[in-house]
């Protein structure tokens, strides 16, 4: 393992020769501090953490190695990058120099990771960079003229006039469309109402074999008639609940007959076999409806007779007071 690491370190030092630059970097330029090495077989290269610039520069491994150097002159700009090309790897650190001159830095050694989990690190390497100033070299700093002040940036005028003009144009264009859409057209002819038969066509439905329809129509007609006379006994109730309401509201009705016919019609509607007696049940329901109508008329006449004398007495008392 030791010869392998020595060979990698020697290759790293050999590949650290900087390329010939046309001009040296200036203050504020982005510098890529690169360290190259030959990757041993079965190893993966990872960049080591480097604390450079500010108060952390020179602290621990990876800081500035040059004695007396200004550690705040060079600062890292971000995370390092590892670029692999064949059997070589390049570890690049983005940095920036804030002061001109020569800066000697100590680049930390990359980490070599093995498949077994072992981690080895190369020795740090020294790197010197030359940074030039952006100011003229022949003129002292105190004699360099200041740049003229920039002119005042005019503030844009904000006016609601364009919005008002746009709304006016939209109103002019959309008003005819709105009027055309909302205009009153020809009145739609109402189709004539289809008169529903007052009675169930029992004979015709019986000839067609519609026994269930006869029972359903007869039960519906009887329930509607009861609902008009007793609103509490509406069609949403089942037969048992409807009979309880009729017992309370209309005790003078023949409860036994009403219950017998309603239950027979329910059985005829949902019987598995065709109810051959549907026509007879429809006739019984019609006769029961007539009988209940007579009882209702008699009850109304009795209520009117009972309410008559008090009304006459009240009228006489009013005349005497006048």
Dist CA 49 CA 80 (whole Å): 9
Cβ(15)–Cβ(37) under 8 Å?
yes
What tens digit of pLDDT does each residue of 166-199 get? 999 999 999 999 888 888 777 777 666 544 445 6
Other CB atoms within a 10 A radius of the CB of residue 87 amount to 11
Cβ(180)–Cβ(245) under 8 Å?
no
What contacts 224, CB < 8 A, 6 or more positions away? 235
Q: What is the pLDDT of residue 70?
A: 55
Q: Which span out of 77-86, 136-145, 207-216, 296-305 was modeled with the highest average pLDDT?
A: 77-86
Closest listed residue to residue 220, CA positions, set 274, 228, 208 = 228
Dist CA 141 CA 236 (whole Å): 102
Q: What is the pLDDT of residue 190?
A: 67
Cβ(50)–Cβ(107) under 8 Å?
yes
What tens digit of pLDDT does each residue of 36-49 get? 999 888 889 999 99
Bridge partners of 36, per DSSP, are 90
Axis-axis angle for helices 255-269, 278-321 (nearest 10): 140
Q: Does residue 71 have a pLDDT over 80?
A: no
What is the radius of gyration, based on Cα positions, of the chain?
Answer: 54
Cβ(24)–Cβ(75) under 8 Å?
no
Cβ(134)–Cβ(147) under 8 Å?
no
Length of the chain: 322
Judge residue 129's burial from the number of C-beta atoms within 10 Å of its C-beta, 0-12 exposed, 13-18 middle, 19 or more buried: middle
Q: What is the pLDDT of residue 199?
A: 67
């Amino acid at each position: 393992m030791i010869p392998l690491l020595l060979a990698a370190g020697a290759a790293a030092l050999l590949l650290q020769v900087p390329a010939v630059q046309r001009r040296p970097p200036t203050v504020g330029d982005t510098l890529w501090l690169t360290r190259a090495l030959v990757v041993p077989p079965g190893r993966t290269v990872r960049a080591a953490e480097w604390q450079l610039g500010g108060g952390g520069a020179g602290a621990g491994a990876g800081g500035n190695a040059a004695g007396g150097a200004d550690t705040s002159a060079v600062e890292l700009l971000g995370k390092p990058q590892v670029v692999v090309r064949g059997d070589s790897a390049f570890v690049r650190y983005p940095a920036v120099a804030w002061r001109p001159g020569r800066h000697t830095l100590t680049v930390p050694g990359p980490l070599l990771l093995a498949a077994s989990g072992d981690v080895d690190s190369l020795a740090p390497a020294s790197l010197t960079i030359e940074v030039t100033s952006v100011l003229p070299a022949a003129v002292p700093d105190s004699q360099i003229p200041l740049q003229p002040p920039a002119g005042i940036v005019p503030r844009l005028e904000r006016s609601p006039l364009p919005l008002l003009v746009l709304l006016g144009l939209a109103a002019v264009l959309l008003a005819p469309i709105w009027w055309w859409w909302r205009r009153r057209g020809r009145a739609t002819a109402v189709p004539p109402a289809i008169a529903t038969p007052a009675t169930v066509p029992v004979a015709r439905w019986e000839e067609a074999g519609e026994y269930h329809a006869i029972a359903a129509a007869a039960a519906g007609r009887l329930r509607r008639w009861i609902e008009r006379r007793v609103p509490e006994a509406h069609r949403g109730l089942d037969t048992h609940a409807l009979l309880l309401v009729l017992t309370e509201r209309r005790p003078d009705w023949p409860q036994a007959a009403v219950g017998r016919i309603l239950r027979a019609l329910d059985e005829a509607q949902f019987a598995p076999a065709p109810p051959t007696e549907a026509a007879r049940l429809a006739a019984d329901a019609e006769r029961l409806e007539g009988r209940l109508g007579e009882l209702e008329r008699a009850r109304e006449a009795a209520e009117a007779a009972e309410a008559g004398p008090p009304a006459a007495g009240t009228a006489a008392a009013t005349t005497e007071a006048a």
